[in-house]
Amino acid sequence: MSDTPRRGADAPEIPNQDSSLAVDSPRRTSIAGTRRQFLAGAAAVGAAGAIGFPAIHVKAATTGQVKFGLLEDQSGNFALFGLPKLHATQLAIKEINDGFTLLSGPTGPGGTGKDGAYTELVDVLVQSNDKGILGREVKLISPDPQSDPRMYQQLTKRLGLQDEVDVIMGAFASANREAMRPVIDQMKKMYWYNNQYEGGVADKYTFCTGAVAEQQIIPAMQYCIAKFGKRIYIPAADYNFGQLSAMWTRAMAPLLGGEVVGQEFIPLSVTDFTSTIARIEQAKPDWLMMYITGQNHANFYPQANAAGLKRPMGSSINLAQGYEHKRFAPPALAGMNVAVSYMEEIPTPRNQAFVKRFRAMFPDEPYIQQEAHSAYVATHLYAVACRLAKTTDQNAVMEALESGIGIEAPAGWMFMDPATHHMSQHIRMASCDEKHNITFVQEWPSIEPWWTRRLGVNLVRTPEFKQYTPADDPAFKKFL
């Protein structure tokens, strides 16, 4: 079996962790030298302790390296998803340090319309006329949170207070993101969440580059109802993502001409799906909307396949995120249709160029998944925003991000919405056949993250620090 896919032959000298910066705080001196302070400070201790220390406001440095903090799981349950994201970030940082950037601006460059038809640009990785960001090299600091929420909290504090990074990115599971967000908000640090998720985060300091429910669930349902029929059965993981996605599906079904004939919530620890398969057959749906997730739930596909459960499946999370079509032997995933914001198989020339660059740096990478793409885009977008703001000072960069900018990602043009801090996505419908080949059967070049806008979120006007759920949306109740 091939070596673990971590660094390719051309990997640059960007280390995984920056030990020199993490250990010594400039304020710490040796114990012997401060014996006088030691003794003299005894009386002051009580007072100091009683007052406490206010939240640390970190001023951005204007010289030296740009410190880029990344928390992606390199071990534990989510290593499967964290490692590609780490590599994508490393690739982007290398490109930035080598003087490259992605084309960006307030609107897309407009493509090269031929015969009245829009054709997107191919060469979007261009010279930045900059070495690193504003002449400063970008240094990646990426400790391993081990898929553990408490570790995420601890390391977020370390990145913010000890390493004093200029930006923090990372987290895969919503649980880990929600563990980080209170820490981020307390430290008033900018944070990027580069993962698809259930949507609803409205946080002044958080920027999300992954797709959300309205960008994936609705197109998937639209395609599947048109192609397979209106009767839908929803097997969902009994987990926040599964619950919320099922809620979205139930709410959107009437609007799209579908009918939910059954749903069930399956605990994450379940590995045997015999009873689920039986219930599905009883309900006789036209297609299944799959929201199952996690290692144990992956058992569903071979079991359903062997049991002869031949129903088409729709999803918002399979294939692109977990690359099941590579991990499972065919034809387990046959008939799966997913609305994706990115897949390695996207045939456009610009994506193939990106894939080539990625695999040149990481030849053993099993798959370039959707979230790796989000991480790559986020890193470049951060550099773009810093150059626009002409500083890495966080408040200025956040204003730049809220000024209305977009970027030419490998998947297509993506725009950062100032009000919601989420990005528009170029969505494609990927269909998997018996041989596990992927074809893209439908495309929506730009779907906006409109849902939190409907709730009145405008982070430019009114800062907020929460996550909304469908329960907060009166429109859902109308249709649920």
Q: Site residues for other proteins, window 133-192 (CB under 8 A)?
A: 142-146, 148-151, 153-155, 157-158, 161-162, 173-175, 178-179, 181-183, 186-187
- Please report how close the Cβ of residue 428 comes to other proteins at its closest, in angstroms: 24
Return the number of the residue (52 or 64) whose C-beta is nearest other proteins: 52
Query: Cis (ω within 30 of 0) for the bond into 331?
Result: yes
439 and 336 in contact (C-beta within 8 Å)? Answer: no
* CB burial string 32-42: b at 16+ within 10 A, e below: eeeeeeeeeee
Return the number of the residue (45 or 117) whose C-beta is nearest other proteins: 45
**Interacting positions 219-238 with other proteins (CB under 8 A):** 238
DSSP, collapsed to helix, strand or coil, labels residue 127 as strand
**Interacting positions 348-377 with other proteins (CB under 8 A):** 364, 366
Return the number of the residue (48 or 475) whose C-beta is nearest other proteins: 48
Asked if residue 34 binds other proteins (CB under 8 A), the reply is yes
- Please report how close the Cβ of residue 242 comes to other proteins at its closest, in angstroms: 7
Helix or strand run (H / E) with residue 179:
helix 174-187
Q: How far apart are CA 128 and CA 341, in angstroms?
A: 26
**Interacting positions 79-98 with other proteins (CB under 8 A):** 79-80, 83
The pair phi, psi for residue 10, each rounded to 5°, is: -90, 15
**Interacting positions 385-444 with other proteins (CB under 8 A):** none
Q: Which of 31, 57, 114, 116 binds other proteins (CB under 8 A)?
A: 31
Return the number of the residue (77 or 391) whose C-beta is nearest other proteins: 77
Residue among 442, 474, 441 at smallest CA distance from 455: 474
* Residue 64 tokens, joined: 């030296």
Return the number of the residue (291 or 415) whose C-beta is nearest other proteins: 291
**Interacting positions 259-318 with other proteins (CB under 8 A):** 264-272, 274-278, 281-282, 295-296, 298-299, 302-303, 305-309
* Helix, strand, coil in percent for the chain, rounding step 5: 40, 20, 40
Return the number of the residue (324 or 417) whose C-beta is nearest other proteins: 324
Q: Which of 7, 8, 11, 22 binds other proteins (CB under 8 A)?
A: 22
Q: Which residues contact 377 (CB under 8 A, 6 or more apart)?
A: 102, 194, 209, 407, 409, 410, 414, 423
